[in-house]
Structure 1
């Protein structure tokens, strides 16, 4: 079938789904970064001829391709660890993917309404609509800041622009490149040589400039590194919250740390201590005694206590510093169903997935201080939180490095944990800071201030990672501005490129 005409036919629908699926291949573990602009081009070839009334469905089909291939790892959480039958897990995963696909559906619909039928306006407004859609997805209904095209550029030519523009700015460039390729094909077809050369030159400029900026450093490393050790316990998810295996889990981490109590910083992963801090007092005291005089242990541990905001006792997913450091941080960005259940008065008890262990956490306050580790300050992010670009940038101020802990055991042997690691690398790039990542079953890693992995432990291995990280000072431009420059540029494009209706001339006659 031809792409001519304005019907959303089978060929066009397939092209939209494939365009979404190709974007998954730009992320880890595939890392086919060059497919980013080409996937956008394919989507535009399918969507550009469509009237605005057909673009909602077109965006939804694209979303099915993207999230169906890139986020379907949620099936493992639902099926293997949610005590849910395979058919029901498939259904819930399909509902999850179809719901996420509504974000690009609304984005495409808005794009069509704003741009009208003009091809030039559509091409100009497409990147703008895309970025606003991505941004809305980062916070609406708690947000799903995953699978942003800019994240795939962490090893690509645009990587060095991330400290200046952030992931949304980089995504804007990738999508604009796809739109420019569409324009270039049209100009070549119509043999408009000079405009084609102009468009090609402008399109190539950021891709050529990016590698030249690779050596630019926005932050400054300290002269002396600190020594670290991170323990990856590889505790099976099935026994994580089983009281019979509680002592065994804690003993595992203590044994793994036996040779490293004098390191400057020791990191245990999310909920490595699977009892609340009010029950773990003797254990915390024992761990503090094992540590060297200048050593800090930072570990995930649930918290239980009275919340002034809630005026009640509550659980929180937390991380605390022991020894030469101090402080406790409570997770702010909770995972729906994993850490809290929306509409729980209706959903609790229906199926096992709505009663996952530790799914009754409350959100931590927004004005929390960094943890200290000796003379240094570090901002921790628990699991999903590292995916929020503006949240991380805002909290990275006045910190020497960043920490993220996670338990990616929920996602098994899927691509989810590797995508999660890639996201953490983008946060290191954006903030110009080392990121120390500790996980239960991988990937535990040291990520430097350029987003490169310097040490790592493979998935599903019980091992200790030893290495060094450098405290840094200073701030990147992105930390100062957040995503606002990209969003403001998108709004400017919308305001000035959308079609306008000129006022009709007056036909009134006046007596002389």
Structure 2
């Protein structure tokens, strides 16, 4: 490893911008569905280059280029949404979307590179790099409304054992310790950091192995029998042939259910293709989707008039009974910028518009809620990317028995996006100790237990359904579920405090 790093140093010393970009691009393949785990050592190269940099400019240049390449690569698939419709203006914007994410991500890696460079000791740099990496990843989850896609720790999501630790320290805590381990390779031939961080990661694996072994999946006795419907209708077809799309969902909702045992049918985000509260004719068709006494829960767009007489549009989840009456409504509260609304719309150039359908921006709902429903324990609905926000997926005063995540990843086609979205949902289940029922239009629909195990799933573009009883949540609230991201931020604060103490100690010795 040491000889390899020296060769890297020779190549990159005079070409920080190019080499940083190349290593950043390579690092983008450590996440789902690729999981090329050895490529994670590119982050060791990041720290190694920082250690060898002769100026802050050189360190920041490499950090900027690395972050640009990393985020532009692992989020390259987002551009697909801009090419669904034959709209040259949207397609032109779509070509620049990866560049936008590259610049956005490079903001964090540039700051990380600068702060790390300012430490004048090798061990202090290592701990500083680790601690501030974890803090900046958390900042990424809320800055500018937040977009915490692909947290670093999710590179380990292929292994359920090591993921169990996030029930205690959260995904940002796992990101911190994984970075501590990976970046320790940059300090070779000094072996102590590598040995210490390796022992920590091994202990995480051991904890997870025992936790899974001692906790098999249990289902709620005499609970609901849920059917998840995945119709896999192309996005363009959903908009041009709405009646056909509706009949596809109805057909799959009742298929092979001769004994009429299904109690709850789940459709994905925006699966109902008409305005749910206005089209009584088409809403009457929903009676065919459920058994007597059953419930249909579907994603749907709806209109509502506020007290000022303004028409507001909502991306919603609605529950419909076997009489076709709506008895529950949840409006999405964390909207996608430029997907469901345009920030600062009045100040942007003309022609900039949102991707999702409708003649106006969607409005924001009232926030995450827990609902009670007939023949079902309490649940919390999450629409689309609301499931990616660690520590922000439930009402802290009312712990639900299950999460319902509906999504429409058909916008992104056969790309890495749907796989990474599934992993984000898996992380929330593991952190909170709460199972997830996930319905996505073209996949990947899944049943995930309270330990993050994917029990059943429908692959991308498969037209089918899943019948499942409801897995039980963990008996006790997880540590992370109780304290949220206060846990990983406390860990990172301790690490940064150690850095400060280390630097002060060295300064005192020099005096």
What TM-score does the superposition give when structure 1 sets the normalisation length? 0.86
User: Is the alpha carbon distance of 1:434 and 1:356 closer, same or farther for their aligned partners in structure 2, counting shifts above 3 Å?
Assistant: closer
Q: Secondary structure at the match of 2:248?
A: helix
- Number of the residue aligned with 1:507: none
The aligned counterpart of 2:238 is 240
The CA deviation at 1:96 is 3.4
Counterpart of 1:161 in structure 2 is: 165
**Aligned residues of 1:428 and 1:448 also touching (Cα < 8 A):** yes
1:50-81 CA-to-partner distances (Å, cap 9, x unmatched) read: 24343333222121221121001122112333
Tell me if structure 1 keeps the 8 A contact 2:265–2:289.
no
Q: CA deviation at 1:91?
A: 2.9
How far, CA to CA, are the matches of 2:48 and 2:96 in structure 1? 31
C-alpha distance 207-461 of structure 1, shift in aligned 2 (>3 A): closer
User: Does structure 1 residue 141 correspond to structure 2 residue 144?
Assistant: yes
Pairwise CA distance, 1:34: 5.3
Task: Give the corresponding residue for 1:211.
Answer: 209
Give the deviation of 1:82 after TM superposition.
7.0
Is 1:251 the counterpart of 2:241? The answer is: no
**Which position in structure 2 is the counterpart of 1:79?**
83
Task: Answer whether contact 1:396 1:402 (CA < 8 A) is retained.
Answer: no
Q: Give the superposition deviation at 1:436.
A: 1.0
Task: Give the corresponding residue for 1:446.
Answer: 447
SS of the residue corresponding to residue 213 of structure 2 reads: coil
Q: Distance in 2 between matches of 1:76 and 1:165?
A: 34
**Aligned with residue 106 of structure 1, among 97, 111, 124:** 111
Query: 2:177·2:197 contact (CA, 8 Å) conserved in 1?
Result: no
Cα shift at 1:290: 5.8
Q: Which residue number corresponds to residue 430 of structure 2?
A: 429
- Match 1:128 to one of 98, 119, 131: 131
Aligned CA distance change for structure 1 residues 118 and 317 (closer, same or farther; 3 Å): same
Q: Which residue of 1 aligns with 2:263?
A: 264
Gaps of 5+ in 2: 1-5
Judged with a 3 Å threshold, the aligned counterparts in structure 2 of structure 1 residues 471 and 311 are, in CA distance, closer, same or farther, namely farther
2:483 to 461, 471, 481: 481
What is the Cα deviation at residue 5 of structure 1? 9.2
Q: Residue deviations 1:307-357, cap 9 Å, x none?
A: 46x984311110011228942111111111110011212447425x54642
Assess, with a 3 A threshold, how the Cα gap between structure 1 residues 447 and 15 changes in structure 2: closer, same or farther.
farther
Counterpart contact for 2:220–2:469, Cα < 8 Å: no
Please state whether the residue corresponding to 2:393 is helix, strand or coil: helix
> What displacement does 1:490 show?
1.1
1:260-305 CA distances to partner (integer Å, 9 max, x unpaired)? 4641221001011122232134544553576334422110011211
Structure 1 residue 455 displacement after superposition:
1.7
SS of 2:135's partner is: helix
TM-score, normalising length: structure 2: 0.86
2:380 counterpart residue number: 379
Q: Secondary structure at the match of 2:239?
A: coil
Structure 2 counterpart of 1:510: none
- Which of 230-239 and 310-319 deviates more? 310-319
Give yes or no for contact 1:273–1:301 (8 Å, CA) kept in 2: yes
Work out whether residues 220 and 474 of structure 1, in 8 Å CA contact, stay in contact via their aligned partners in 2.
Answer: no
CA distance in 2, matches of 1:492, 1:195: 17
1:318 aligns with 2:322: no
- The whole-number CA distance in structure 1 between the counterparts of 2:298 and 2:198 is 51
Identify the residue that residue 278 of structure 1 maps to in structure 2. Answer: 277
- Native 8 Å contact 1:270 1:406 kept in 2: yes
Q: Deviations over 1:90-137 (max 9, x none)?
A: 234323322332222223333434xx2221111111111011111111
Q: Give the structure 1 partner of residue 351 of structure 2.
A: 350
SS in 2 for 1:328: strand
In the alignment of these two chains, the number of paired residues is: 490
494-503 or 57-66, which deviates more: 494-503
Distance 2:338 2:186 in 1: 41
For 2:283 and 2:34, the matched residues in 1 are separated by 41
Cα distance 1:374–1:196, how it changes in 2: closer, same or farther (>3 A)? closer
Counterpart in 2 of 1:456?
Answer: 457
Given that 2:224 and 2:375 are in contact with CA atoms closer than 8 Å, whether structure 1 keeps it comes out as: no
